[in-house]
Chains A and B, each alone.
Chain A
Amino acid sequence: KNQVEQSPQSLIILEGKNCTLQCNYTVSPFSNLRWYKQDTGRGPVSLTIMTFSENTKSNGRYTATLDADTKQSSLHITASQLSDSASYICVVSDRGSTLGRLYFGRGTQLTVWP
Protein backbone atom coordinates (compact mmCIF):
# COMPACT_ATOMS: atom_id res chain seq x y z
CA LYS A 1 0.00 0.00 0.00
CA ASN A 2 1.37 3.39 -1.01
CA GLN A 3 1.78 5.54 2.08
CA VAL A 4 3.59 8.63 3.32
CA GLU A 5 4.42 8.82 7.02
CA GLN A 6 5.75 11.95 8.69
CA SER A 7 7.37 12.47 12.06
CA PRO A 8 7.16 14.03 14.47
CA GLN A 9 3.46 14.87 14.41
CA SER A 10 4.20 18.18 16.13
CA LEU A 11 7.30 20.05 17.20
CA ILE A 12 7.99 23.13 19.31
CA ILE A 13 11.32 24.92 19.06
CA LEU A 14 12.75 28.25 20.12
CA GLU A 15 13.42 30.98 17.61
CA GLY A 16 16.89 30.73 16.11
CA LYS A 17 17.20 26.97 16.63
CA ASN A 18 17.47 24.37 13.89
CA CYS A 19 15.13 21.43 13.38
CA THR A 20 14.70 18.42 11.11
CA LEU A 21 11.43 16.90 9.96
CA GLN A 22 11.20 13.34 8.65
CA CYS A 23 9.23 11.68 5.86
CA ASN A 24 9.15 7.94 5.08
CA TYR A 25 7.28 6.64 2.07
CA THR A 26 6.36 3.35 0.45
CA VAL A 27 5.15 4.83 -2.86
CA SER A 28 6.22 2.88 -5.90
CA PRO A 29 7.12 3.53 -8.63
CA PHE A 30 8.61 6.77 -7.38
CA SER A 31 8.63 9.93 -9.48
CA ASN A 32 9.34 12.87 -7.19
CA LEU A 33 8.96 14.15 -3.65
CA ARG A 34 7.85 17.59 -2.60
CA TRP A 35 7.79 19.44 0.67
CA TYR A 36 4.98 21.95 1.12
CA LYS A 37 4.50 24.59 3.81
CA GLN A 38 0.93 25.26 4.91
CA ASP A 39 0.26 28.29 7.09
CA THR A 40 -2.84 28.19 9.27
CA GLY A 41 -5.90 28.99 7.21
CA ARG A 42 -3.97 28.99 3.92
CA GLY A 43 -3.30 26.55 1.12
CA PRO A 44 0.00 24.64 0.88
CA VAL A 45 2.93 26.32 -0.86
CA SER A 46 5.71 24.30 -2.51
CA LEU A 47 9.16 24.58 -0.88
CA THR A 48 11.25 22.00 -2.73
CA ILE A 49 10.92 19.19 -5.22
CA MET A 50 13.34 16.31 -5.73
CA THR A 51 13.48 13.60 -8.34
CA PHE A 52 15.05 10.15 -8.02
CA SER A 53 18.55 11.35 -8.91
CA GLU A 54 18.66 14.27 -6.49
CA ASN A 55 19.63 13.81 -2.87
CA THR A 56 19.83 17.41 -1.62
CA LYS A 57 18.04 20.60 -2.51
CA SER A 58 18.00 23.94 -0.74
CA ASN A 59 15.59 26.86 -0.72
CA GLY A 60 16.95 29.57 1.53
CA ARG A 61 16.96 28.27 5.10
CA TYR A 62 15.17 25.08 4.02
CA THR A 63 17.24 22.06 2.95
CA ALA A 64 15.60 18.84 1.84
CA THR A 65 17.35 15.50 1.48
CA LEU A 66 16.23 12.35 -0.26
CA ASP A 67 17.48 8.77 0.08
CA ALA A 68 15.63 6.86 -2.63
CA ASP A 69 17.14 3.56 -1.51
CA THR A 70 15.70 3.74 2.01
CA LYS A 71 12.71 5.81 0.84
CA GLN A 72 13.32 8.54 3.35
CA SER A 73 13.39 12.31 3.12
CA SER A 74 14.10 15.05 5.60
CA LEU A 75 13.51 18.78 5.72
CA HIS A 76 16.04 20.76 7.73
CA ILE A 77 15.21 24.29 8.82
CA THR A 78 18.12 26.48 9.84
CA ALA A 79 17.93 29.44 12.23
CA SER A 80 14.18 29.18 12.65
CA GLN A 81 11.97 32.26 12.60
CA LEU A 82 8.52 32.89 14.01
CA SER A 83 7.16 32.86 10.46
CA ASP A 84 8.29 29.24 10.11
CA SER A 85 5.39 28.21 12.34
CA ALA A 86 3.23 26.12 10.01
CA SER A 87 2.40 22.59 8.94
CA TYR A 88 5.02 20.97 6.69
CA ILE A 89 3.62 18.37 4.32
CA CYS A 90 5.56 15.70 2.45
CA VAL A 91 4.01 14.74 -0.90
CA VAL A 92 5.18 11.87 -3.10
CA SER A 93 4.23 11.39 -6.76
CA ASP A 94 4.18 7.91 -8.20
CA ARG A 95 4.71 8.94 -11.83
CA GLY A 96 5.74 12.09 -13.63
CA SER A 97 2.88 11.89 -16.08
CA THR A 98 -0.68 13.06 -16.50
CA LEU A 99 -1.75 9.84 -14.76
CA GLY A 100 0.54 10.45 -11.79
CA ARG A 101 -0.98 10.30 -8.34
CA LEU A 102 0.03 12.36 -5.34
CA TYR A 103 0.29 10.80 -1.88
CA PHE A 104 0.12 13.25 1.00
CA GLY A 105 1.51 12.89 4.50
CA ARG A 106 -0.43 14.24 7.45
CA GLY A 107 2.16 16.92 8.04
CA THR A 108 4.35 18.01 10.94
CA GLN A 109 2.96 20.96 12.87
CA LEU A 110 5.92 23.21 13.73
CA THR A 111 5.61 25.96 16.31
CA VAL A 112 8.44 28.45 16.78
CA TRP A 113 8.42 30.32 20.08
CA PRO A 114 10.21 33.62 20.70
Chain B
Amino acid sequence: EADIYQTPRYLVIGTGKKITLECSQTMGHDKMYWYQQDPGMELHLIHYSYGVNSTEKGDLSSESTVSRIRTEHFPLTLESARPSHTSQYLCASSEPRTVSETQYFGPGTRLLVL
Protein backbone atom coordinates (compact mmCIF):
# COMPACT_ATOMS: atom_id res chain seq x y z
CA GLU B 1 0.00 0.00 0.00
CA ALA B 2 1.26 3.45 -0.93
CA ASP B 3 2.50 5.77 1.83
CA ILE B 4 0.57 8.83 0.73
CA TYR B 5 -1.86 10.55 3.05
CA GLN B 6 -4.58 13.13 2.71
CA THR B 7 -6.43 15.12 5.35
CA PRO B 8 -9.17 15.75 5.98
CA ARG B 9 -10.96 12.81 4.40
CA TYR B 10 -14.28 14.67 4.45
CA LEU B 11 -14.95 18.40 4.71
CA VAL B 12 -18.22 20.33 4.79
CA ILE B 13 -17.77 24.07 4.71
CA GLY B 14 -19.69 27.24 3.97
CA THR B 15 -19.28 29.46 0.93
CA GLY B 16 -16.49 32.01 1.17
CA LYS B 17 -14.33 30.09 3.62
CA LYS B 18 -10.63 29.49 3.03
CA ILE B 19 -9.61 25.84 3.08
CA THR B 20 -6.38 23.88 2.75
CA LEU B 21 -6.31 20.23 1.74
CA GLU B 22 -3.23 18.45 3.01
CA CYS B 23 -1.24 15.82 1.14
CA SER B 24 1.96 14.17 2.28
CA GLN B 25 4.00 11.20 1.12
CA THR B 26 6.88 9.35 2.74
CA MET B 27 8.22 7.63 -0.39
CA GLY B 28 10.62 10.41 -1.33
CA HIS B 29 8.90 10.98 -4.67
CA ASP B 30 9.80 14.17 -6.50
CA LYS B 31 6.62 14.34 -8.56
CA MET B 32 3.28 15.08 -7.00
CA TYR B 33 -0.17 15.75 -8.47
CA TRP B 34 -3.64 16.97 -7.58
CA TYR B 35 -6.67 15.60 -9.39
CA GLN B 36 -10.35 16.51 -9.20
CA GLN B 37 -12.92 13.75 -9.65
CA ASP B 38 -16.69 14.06 -9.79
CA PRO B 39 -18.93 10.96 -9.37
CA GLY B 40 -18.89 8.75 -12.45
CA MET B 41 -16.45 11.01 -14.23
CA GLU B 42 -12.79 10.78 -15.13
CA LEU B 43 -9.97 12.27 -13.08
CA HIS B 44 -8.86 15.73 -14.16
CA LEU B 45 -5.36 17.01 -13.42
CA ILE B 46 -5.49 20.44 -11.76
CA HIS B 47 -1.93 20.89 -10.42
CA TYR B 48 1.41 19.10 -10.48
CA SER B 49 4.93 19.55 -9.19
CA TYR B 50 8.26 18.12 -10.31
CA GLY B 51 9.98 18.93 -7.03
CA VAL B 52 10.56 21.56 -4.37
CA ASN B 53 9.61 25.08 -5.51
CA SER B 54 8.11 23.68 -8.73
CA THR B 55 4.36 23.98 -9.35
CA GLU B 56 2.39 23.92 -12.59
CA LYS B 57 -1.26 24.16 -13.54
CA GLY B 58 -2.86 21.07 -15.00
CA ASP B 59 -5.36 20.52 -17.77
CA LEU B 60 -8.46 21.57 -15.84
CA SER B 61 -8.65 25.20 -14.85
CA SER B 62 -8.93 25.52 -11.10
CA GLU B 63 -9.21 28.45 -8.72
CA SER B 64 -7.10 26.57 -6.21
CA THR B 65 -3.40 27.13 -5.59
CA VAL B 66 -0.64 24.79 -4.45
CA SER B 67 2.79 25.06 -2.89
CA ARG B 68 5.79 22.72 -2.66
CA ILE B 69 8.15 23.87 0.06
CA ARG B 70 9.13 20.36 1.14
CA THR B 71 9.46 17.22 -0.96
CA GLU B 72 6.96 15.27 1.10
CA HIS B 73 4.25 17.93 1.35
CA PHE B 74 1.96 19.31 -1.39
CA PRO B 75 -0.99 21.25 0.07
CA LEU B 76 -3.86 22.65 -2.02
CA THR B 77 -5.60 25.88 -0.98
CA LEU B 78 -8.92 27.45 -1.93
CA GLU B 79 -9.02 31.09 -0.84
CA SER B 80 -12.81 31.36 -1.07
CA ALA B 81 -14.77 28.14 -1.40
CA ARG B 82 -17.87 28.03 -3.61
CA PRO B 83 -20.49 25.31 -4.19
CA SER B 84 -18.92 24.68 -7.62
CA HIS B 85 -15.80 23.46 -5.79
CA THR B 86 -17.74 20.52 -4.37
CA SER B 87 -15.90 17.43 -5.57
CA GLN B 88 -13.41 14.74 -4.60
CA TYR B 89 -9.76 15.80 -4.61
CA LEU B 90 -7.11 13.12 -5.08
CA CYS B 91 -3.40 13.61 -4.45
CA ALA B 92 -0.80 11.38 -6.10
CA SER B 93 2.94 10.99 -6.34
CA SER B 94 5.27 9.10 -8.65
CA GLU B 95 8.83 7.91 -8.61
CA PRO B 96 11.50 9.34 -10.91
CA ARG B 97 11.15 8.76 -14.59
CA THR B 98 11.00 5.10 -15.52
CA VAL B 99 9.27 3.28 -18.34
CA SER B 100 6.54 2.21 -15.97
CA GLU B 101 6.15 5.41 -13.97
CA THR B 102 3.23 4.56 -11.72
CA GLN B 103 1.29 7.16 -9.81
CA TYR B 104 0.36 6.27 -6.25
CA PHE B 105 -2.84 7.85 -5.01
CA GLY B 106 -3.94 9.01 -1.61
CA PRO B 107 -7.42 8.16 -0.27
CA GLY B 108 -8.88 11.48 -1.36
CA THR B 109 -10.71 14.37 0.28
CA ARG B 110 -14.43 14.71 -0.33
CA LEU B 111 -15.31 18.41 -0.21
CA LEU B 112 -18.85 19.74 0.12
CA VAL B 113 -19.33 23.51 -0.06
CA LEU B 114 -22.74 24.74 1.09
Contacts and interface: CB of A to CB of B under 8 A. Distances in A.
A98 B50 CA distance: 9
A41 interface: yes
B108 A41 contact: yes
A51 B99 contact: yes
A32 B92 contact: no
Nearest to A105: B42
A106 B102 contact: no
A102 B103 contact: yes
Interface string A94-114: 001110111011110100000
Contacts of A97: 97
Contacts of A44: 43, 90, 105
Interface string A24-68: 000000001010000001111110010100000000000000000
Interface string B75-114: 0000000000000001110000101111111111010000
A19 to B, nearest CB: 19
SS of B interface (majority):
loop
Given A43-B90, A46-B102, A51-B99, A104 B42 contact: yes
Contacts of A96: 97, 99, 101
Interface in A80-102: 89, 93, 96-98, 100-102
Interface in B6-59: 9, 40-45, 50, 59
A106 B41 contact: yes
B90 A102 contact: no
A104 B99 contact: no
B92 A98 contact: no
A104 B97 contact: no
A104 B43 contact: yes
Nearest to A90: B42
Interface of A: 4, 9, 32, 34, 41-46, 49, 51, 89, 93, 96-98, 100-102, 104-107, 109
Top 3 A-B pairs, shortest CB-CB distance:
A43-B105, A104-B42, A104-B43
